[in-house]
A and B are shown apart, each in its own frame.
Chain A
Amino acid sequence: MKKLWMILLIPLLSGCWDSHNIEELSLVVGEGIDKSKKNDEIKLTHQILVPPGTSVQENQGQQKYKNITVSAKTLHEAIRDSLLITNTILTNHQRILIINEDVLKDIPMEAIINMFIRDNSIRRSCLVLLTKKPTKEILGNSEADDIPSNVIFELKDNEKRTNKILPPLTLGQASASLQSDGSFAIQAVDIKGGKLILDGAGVIKNSKLVGVMSADDIASLNWLNGTVKGGIIEASHHGDPFSVEVIKRTRRKITTELNGEHLTINISIGYTGRLSEDWYTKENSFKESYFKDAERVTEDKVEQDVEKIIGKLQHDYKTGVAGLYRYVENQHPKFWKKNKKKWDEVFSKADINYHIDIRIIDFGSKGGTK
């Protein structure tokens, strides 16, 4: 009986200031940022998951998500304003952040992602993407009840099969790059034929959007960086097209040389590949010289593409998106310290020598045509 008072204390254990019923939360999976028509306001679109109903009839015709758009001067204010429409916003599970091009033309990217980095619940692993369409359209474009945010999030996994996608850019990486040299490329999404598509990229320089690249440019940029993880190289020999499938990277060596103030960057990359398609009717891959020729042709093709992208980076965008500054910093710390501020200028004037070595190690289950 003496310990009876302990039982009376039990109700105290149930108290929790921070309890929320899960059905009263708005689970955000994606956010989109647009410019508002009203002057200097920002439009924020939340994509919120709608929990499925209990019965079959209920689920039919019901969308799995809803989009809520609000505009305000700052992003956090916009989030709080959305509480006038919906339940408490929970951003712990946010997967993507889509930014409209117009926003980045006026407002520095650093300011745009500032709130997301500061926030205690949004993770730094959330993906950042760019679009030229209003983000409301992108986030509202769904087929067969798919959730657009998830569709986009999963598309980035195809990185291993195609080289026209940039390596995923997370909030954390974006923030880190903005803190260091402030220039990088950011994957873009678009709608084509009613479908969401990863297409092209934006070039960010000093926190502002300075240009856009096509999907082929991305492939070239990936070749330059050695970040290709898969995909196809198209080329032609004897007047007929053929394709080489990338298997894996065997080496990457980047050296930088200084001659006074003049910088030379030597990039040498090695890949293995497979001759995966060949339209030439007199093909004979069993002869070594045949696919050695094919190797040479593909190498030339990649080197040409890369040269083009180097030209674009150096003369159109005048910025070292490629992250090559890291090698300069590591190999010539003193030079880097002195020229950190005018790196874009140094990069534009630098000589970049690119050499790729592709080895075709197999040709599939067919090697000759009679």
Chain B
Amino acid sequence: MTQSDGKILSVELAFIISCGMLGVGMLTLPRTITDNINSPDGWIILIFNGIIIGLFLCLLVFLLKKHQVSDYYTYMEEAFGKWLSKILGFVIVIYFIGVASFEVLAMSEMVRFYLMENTPVEVVILSLILASVHLLTGKIKAIAKVCVFFLPLTIVIVLLIYLLSLRVVDLKNLQPVLGNGILPVLKGMGEGHLYFFGVELFIFLFGLVKNQNKVKKGILIGFSIPVILYVITYVLVVATLTVPEVKAVTWPTISFIQSYEVKGIFIERLELFLLITWILQFFCTHTIYFYFAAEGLTKIFRNSYTTNLIVLVPVIFLLAKIPKNTVEIFKMSDVLGYVFPFIFFALPILTFLIVQVKRGKRSG
């Protein structure tokens, strides 16, 4: 295995997908779901949506394998022709840039509020972007290694924090299960896919995996880690804060960890550890999206990857400066949420159908 071949292992695929998914969602997800359905049944939505998307992922693996896709952009070209595919590719790149700057923005917002009040936000944003540019010069292989290093750390620390929280958790707050009937839950499931931001990266990662037979296993593991973490988070946060309160706080997961103190160990307050590990996750998510944006531009314009990296720094920075307040930041995530199903559901299916017809014609 050499550095230069740019291929990743299926394990690394799993880690990249997990890191790509675990971003700002974890900190706000209990509020957004509860707000949607107005009952404590969000965990059912998460589990069912997780299963549905898991099945869809299996379908995607099957489709992509059948057409032996090694690079999604050339695959799109085969389907839509040269110019249309370039335009589509550009839309996708803009989406990637959007998510990259949203993640860095959300991180800076959290840092500004909880950790460093007087430090200029610009400094926080820029230092994170520059750090990720440094990492990105190593391309996907370097990112994979960082993810493999950070993710276990995050999971261990988060689970430890959760374990110590069990004292304040009151499962009574999760009842009544399906108190409003099944209808609001089904309605909530319609929007439920939004919590799985990041999984769409898979279609672009597919061609990069070395052993194609292990792709399915890798992607399913990578997908299930965040889903399980999300379900645990949702249950604990809502059970501690109660439904009306979850809807009222800005960062429910952080508020939840601020609800208790641990006695006996030399540290009493644990939210600091969550914030620190979550900055690592923000960094990973940001870097991964940044990579795909730069890589996409390279594929479209056929210019140098390094140039694109440098060009994107001011773009991401300026985009992150657009939202003026917390509400606008959350709005930005909503806008990105509209694009997500298009890239994850519509695009692969459509591309597959067109390519299937075209190839069929050629051979017939």
Contacts and interface: CB of A to CB of B under 8 A. Distances in A.
Contacts of A176: 241-242, 244-245
A180 B38 CA distance: 13
A333 B241 CA distance: 19
A175 interface: yes
Given A175-B245, A330-B175, A123 B119 contact: no
Contacts of A170: 259
Interface in B155-175: 172-173, 175
A30 to B, nearest CB: 15
Nearest to B39: A333
A334 to B, nearest CB: 8
Interface in B25-77: none
A330 B259 contact: no
Contacts of A125: 258-261
B176 A172 contact: no
A129 to B, nearest CB: 17
Contact of B242 (A180, A330, A337): A180
B113 A179 contact: no
A89 to B, nearest CB: 13
A329 B117 CA distance: 42
Interface residues of B, number: 29
Given A18-B116, A125-B260, A176-B244, A333 B176 contact: yes
B242 A333 contact: no
Nearest to B115: A18
A330 B179 contact: yes
Given A18-B118, A123-B261, A125-B258, A329 B245 contact: no
Contacts of A179: 242, 244-245, 248
B85 interface: no
B355 to A, nearest CB: 50
B113 A330 contact: no
Given A18-B119, A123-B261, A172 B241 contact: yes
A124 B242 contact: no
A330 B176 contact: yes
Max count, chain B CB within 10 A of own CB: residue among A92, A124, A172: A124
B120 interface: yes
A21 interface: no
Contacts of A16: 119
A124 B118 contact: no
B119 A17 contact: yes
Nearest to A117: B249
A197 to B, nearest CB: 24
A281 interface: no
A246 B240 CA distance: 28
A333 B258 contact: no
B248 A172 contact: no
Contacts of B249: 117
Nearest to B117: A18
Contact of B259 (A18, A172, A337): A172
Contact of B258 (A124, A326, A329, A330): A124
Interface string B235-246: 000001111110
Nearest to A16: B119
A120 interface: yes
Contacts of A63: none
Nearest to A172: B259
Contacts of A272: none
A18 B116 CA distance: 6
B219 to A, nearest CB: 38
Contact of A17 (B118, B175, B243, B244): B118
A170 B258 CA distance: 11
7 contacts: A17-B118, A120-B114, A124-B255, A124-B259, A125-B258, A179-B242, A330-B172
Closest 9 CB pairs of A and B: A333-B179, A179-B244, A17-B119, A176-B245, A330-B175, A172-B259, A17-B118, A124-B259, A176-B242
Given A330-B172, A330-B179, A331-B176, 18 more contacts: A17-B119, A17-B120, A18-B116, A18-B117, A92-B269, A117-B249, A120-B117, A124-B259, A125-B258, A172-B245, A172-B259, A176-B244, A179-B248, A180-B244, A326-B173, A326-B175, A329-B175, A330-B175
Interface of B: 113-120, 123, 172-173, 175-176, 179-180, 240-245, 248-249, 255, 258-261, 269
